[in-house]
């Protein structure tokens, strides 16, 4: 009992002398990765100058996940946020999760400023062949790519990705059941995957317009495949392949889609039900407001032009003399 009391007292003493503001920026960056976007952009910079310096630099932006927020923002707000955060990463970005990008200039910005990107998740985007080719050529280090619910030029886009991203091990190309309902089945994308992505280990094609021949071709060509999601692919008959005997190492989910009673919690709804607000609204002088629902967010949060510029101004307040001269890591 006495030993426990002494240990607790020692911990309290150490805590009293812990100087969090003296931690080097890359250590702070690792800690701050556990915070959400709002906390990073509003709370952390206001704690102290050292934390503001760290938040303005690349250490906190090696992984950027704004997918939930991007489902709710306006296109121009999304474009500016993506550019701002990727600029912070200074070429060190390794993972990016963002949704609903529609502007070719934003795709170009990502391709030109994220050469170290290994994981790219960008569902619900519109990509033409020139965008896909530019992205795949410049982001040749990608090992994971999510193009679920994206508007792309089918097999041609898949071939470009496979040709340029030789290290790709994971691909998500899930479709929305409403968008595919009643459309004819075709295997063009399946054949493109089979012919250009031999390194795949993880492949998701839920509700895709694919039939048994396309699945057979993928399984026969992607010898490293470990997981295949075929939920909602109603034209696929696994008994006709057969999978258990010919491809025993591949875990296949579907084509049957479990209903709610069967406990399927894997389906990613079109837009998350969790309520989010724009982080920089607090920086624009509304820190006392609380939004109870999304209608409050949509009714005037972005009425004023230049709100994002005000964010950037406030973001840099107090650190203008810091520059970008980060201390070396030990």
Task: Give the model confidence (pLDDT) of 12-43 as tens digits.
Answer: 443 454 565 566 666 777 777 777 777 778 77
Most confident of 1-5, 59-63, 77-81: 77-81
Helices 188-196 and 212-221 meet at what angle, rounded to 10? 0
Looking at residue 177, its pLDDT comes to 86
Q: Give the tens place of pLDDT for each residue, 144-169.
A: 999 999 988 788 999 999 999 999 99
How far CA 158 is from CA of 34, 130, 165, 187, 229, in Å, comes to: 34, 12, 10, 12, 17
Within 17-128, residue ranges assigned H as helices are 25-32, 37-38, 49-56, 67-70, 75-89, 104-113
Pairwise CA distance, residues 12 & 29, whole Å? 25
Average pLDDT for residues 272-283, to the nearest whole number? 32
Confidence of residue 107 (pLDDT cuts 50, 70, 90): very high
Looking at residue 200, its pLDDT comes to 96
User: Cis peptide leading into 310, omega within 30 of 0?
Assistant: no
Average pLDDT for residues 286-298, to the nearest whole number? 33
Residue 176, Cβ density class (10 Å: 0-12 exposed, 13-18 middle, ≥19 buried): middle
Please state the pTM of the whole predicted model.
0.71
- Rounded percentage of the chain residues whose pLDDT exceeds 90: 41
Pairwise CA distance, residues 115 & 179, whole Å? 33
Looking at residue 18, its pLDDT comes to 56
Looking at residue 206, its pLDDT comes to 94
Looking at residue 260, its pLDDT comes to 54
* Mean pLDDT of all residues belonging to the chain: 75
């Amino acid at each position: 009992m006495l030993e426990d009391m002494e240990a607790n007292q020692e911990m309290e003493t150490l805590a009293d002398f812990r100087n969090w503001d003296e931690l080097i920026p890359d250590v702070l960056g690792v800690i701050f990765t556990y915070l959400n976007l709002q906390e990073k952009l509003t709370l952390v910079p206001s704690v102290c100058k050292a934390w503001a310096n760290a938040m303005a630099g690349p250490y906190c932006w090696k992984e950027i996940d704004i997918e939930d927020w991007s489902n709710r923002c306006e296109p121009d707000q999304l474009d500016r946020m993506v550019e701002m955060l990727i600029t912070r990463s200074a070429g060190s970005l390794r993972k990016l999760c963002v949704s609903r990008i529609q502007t070719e200039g934003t795709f170009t910005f990502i391709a030109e400023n994220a050469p170290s990107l290994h994981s790219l998740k960008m569902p619900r985007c519109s990509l033409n062949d020139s965008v896909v080719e530019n992205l795949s050529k410049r982001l040749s280090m990608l090992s994971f790519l999510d193009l679920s619910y994206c508007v792309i030029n089918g097999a041609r886009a898949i071939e470009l990705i496979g040709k340029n991203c030789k290290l790709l091990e994971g691909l998500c190309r899930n479709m929305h059941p409403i968008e595919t309902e009643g459309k004819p089945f075709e295997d063009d994308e399946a054949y493109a995957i089979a012919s250009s992505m031999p390194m795949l280990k993880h492949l998701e094609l839920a509700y895709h317009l694919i039939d048994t021949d396309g699945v057979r071709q993928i399984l026969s060509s992607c010898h490293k495949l470990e997981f295949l999601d075929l939920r909602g692919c109603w034209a696929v008959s696994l008994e006709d392949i057969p999978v258990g005997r010919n491809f025993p190492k591949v875990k296949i989910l579907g084509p049957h889609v479990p209903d709610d009673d069967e406990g399927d919690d894997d389906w990613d709804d079109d837009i998350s039900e969790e309520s989010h607000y724009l982080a920089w609204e607090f920086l624009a002088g509304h820190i006392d407001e609380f939004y109870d629902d999304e209608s409050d967010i949509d009714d005037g949060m972005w009425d004023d032009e230049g709100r994002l510029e005000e964010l950037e101004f406030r973001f840099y307040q107090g650190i203008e003399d810091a520059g970008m001269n980060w201390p070396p890591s030990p």
